[in-house]
Every structure is written in structure tokens, then in C-alpha cells.
Amino acid sequence: MFKEDKVIFLKNPNEVLEHLIKNFVNTSELNRRTQLDYGMYFDEPLVGFASGTDPLFLEYKKIIGSFHYTPGEIIAAALREKSKGLFLAETDRVSVISWILPAHEDIRKSNRGEERLPSQLWLYLKEFGEACNNALRQHVVHYLEDLGYSAVAPARLPSVKSFRDDKVGWASAWSERHVAHACGLGTFGLSDGLITPKGKAVRIGSVVTNLKLAPSDRRYRHAKENCLFFRNEKCGKCMQRCPVGAITEKGHDKDVCKEYLESEPMLAKRSEYGPSPLSSACGLCQTRVPCEFQIPRPDLIA
């Protein structure tokens, strides 16, 4: 990287990183459905930022579990792997970069018509769209490392994997949804999905770095503000869309959901859409619902 590039970056790092992420998604061949029709997996991303010392990250240790990493813990662990340490003076500089990758309209449209099992495009979104997301994670990490900063994509760490917790059911030590919420990118719905300004038919990624960045505003008052159901408007469309009744007025039953994702009919559908069995996904509750591609009726938020 040239000295001039670093000077430009340091003048407005948030803006440069947002442009970096959007440019990658807009131009990367990985965001093209080369396996099918050369359409796009994702529309233009949303990007948000949070301070690693934001109190929300400590709250997540209570809401999700003590196992959930804070940004400081994540970056410290990454530095230890490289035989480095995070100095106390550096903790205030730790920041989180989060992004929302909205599913392309034709992918969403293909899944709207399904009643029991996902469309081919939706399963390809999970398999190959997530490959694009992983490449974006590494792209951001390498960019920051080239500038001399430490950076890590938590979702790519071996220690960050899905497991069953007695309190919250299936969980991860780094929830991309909760991190995006802290970065001002959306609030939660009845189905547990994150409802963003581009809706909840999305995939999410993040990177943690020891570079101080300006936090994004959180333009909501509580964690479920964007969901019609929690605005007492009696929506519940995601309940109707779930083929196995995993979503009720009490919320999302992760065990029932996971059993469905691992069921024989799902495996058969994944194999049918092959060439090799694709990753499991459903997305019915993310499509043909009012929050599919927008915050529903934002004018009604007081």
C-alpha cells in the first residue's frame, strides 16, 4: 500500500472501509451465480461500526451467555495466536465493522413461492453466497493488516462454532446478528431474524480490529423495534411461513428449526440441487413477509 493511500485512509477510515466493502460486493466474481445463471447473490451492502467497549457487548454475555466473546476478547485471542499481546492502552481502540448483504430480489422472489422447502436459488445463496461473504471477511482483514493493524474475522475462528446451550438453545460464541445490532444495522423479529433497512433476507459478516473507528448511530430505542409483531400490530406472518411450526408467539424454537434443517426431505432437496449436497438453509420465514426487504411501515414507529 502506498503512503498516499494510508493518508487518505486515516483521514476518514469509516468511509474508506465502507467503500471497500461495497466495491468488493459490486465487483467480485464470487458475487455472481456462475454455477447457474450469472445473476448476483447480493445487492449493495449496508455497513456499520461499533466501539469494542460498547456496553452492549458485555450485556450479550448475560443475554446470550458468558461464552459470547467481546470484541476485546476476540482481538486479544487473535493476537495471542501470533505470539502478540493487546496492551491495556489499546483496548479503547478496538472496533467492530459489520455489514449486511441483502439477498438479490430474484433470489427472494424464488423463495416466496415455496411452502415446504427452499428454492434452488436460496440454497445456492447459503452455499455460494456465504463463500462470497467469507472472501469479503478475509478481504477486509488483509486490507487492515496491510495498513499495519491487527484484524480478525471472528466467524472464521475454530472456537466460534454452533453449539447447544441450556439457556438459549443453539448459539455461537460470536453472533453476527447481535454484532450487527450493536453496529446500528437492525433489530430483532419474532423469528430471531435481524430486520434491517434492507429487510431480513440477508447474510451478515463482521471483522474486529485494533483501529479506532467512529461508531454508527443506533436509530432505534429497543432491540425489537422494527418488528410489527412487537409493535402490537398482530403480524405474525413468519409464523405462517414456517413449515414446521418452529415460530410461535413465544418466539423461535431453535431445536425444532434445526431438526427440520437436518431432516431427510431437506437432505433430499439439497442433493437434488447439487452437484454435491449443498449447505442446509430454509429462509421461508425471511421471504413473503412484510420485513423481507425493508423495515415494515417505519412511519408507524413513534
* Tens of pLDDT, residues 151-161: 999 999 988 88
pLDDT reported for residue 214: 97
Structure confidence at residue 302 as a pLDDT band (50, 70, 90)? very low
pLDDT reported for residue 48: 98
CA torsion through residues 149, 153, 158, 162, sign: positive
pLDDT, tens digit, for every residue of 8-67? 788 899 999 999 999 999 999 999 999 999 999 999 999 999 999 999 999 999 999 999
Answer for the pair 281, 126: CB distance below 8 angstroms, yes or no.
Answer: yes
Q: How far apart are CA 30 and CA 118, in angstroms?
A: 22
The yes-or-no verdict on residue 120 having pLDDT over 70 is yes
The yes-or-no verdict on residue 145 having pLDDT over 60 is yes
The yes-or-no verdict on residue 217 having pLDDT over 70 is yes
User: Per-residue b/e over 119-157, b at no fewer than 16 CB within 10 Å?
Assistant: bbbbbbbbbbbbebbebbbebbbebbeebebbbbbbbeb
The yes-or-no verdict on residue 205 having pLDDT over 60 is yes
pLDDT reported for residue 159: 81
**Long-range contacts of range 229-236, CB-CB < 8 Å, 24 or more positions apart?**
229/189, 229/190, 230/189, 230/190, 231/300, 231/301, 233/297, 233/300, 235/190, 235/289, 235/290, 235/296, 236/190
Average pLDDT over residues 201-211: 97
Q: What pairs with residue 244 in β-bridges?
A: none
Please state, rounded to an integer, the average pLDDT across all residues of the chain: 92
Share of the chain above pLDDT 70, in %: 93
The grid cell for 193 is 431474524
The yes-or-no verdict on residue 300 having pLDDT over 70 is no
Structure confidence at residue 89 as a pLDDT band (50, 70, 90)? very low
How many domains does one find in the chain? 1
Range of 121's domain? 3-300
C-alpha distances (whole Å) from 279 to each of 84, 114, 232, 259, 264 are 36, 18, 35, 14, 14
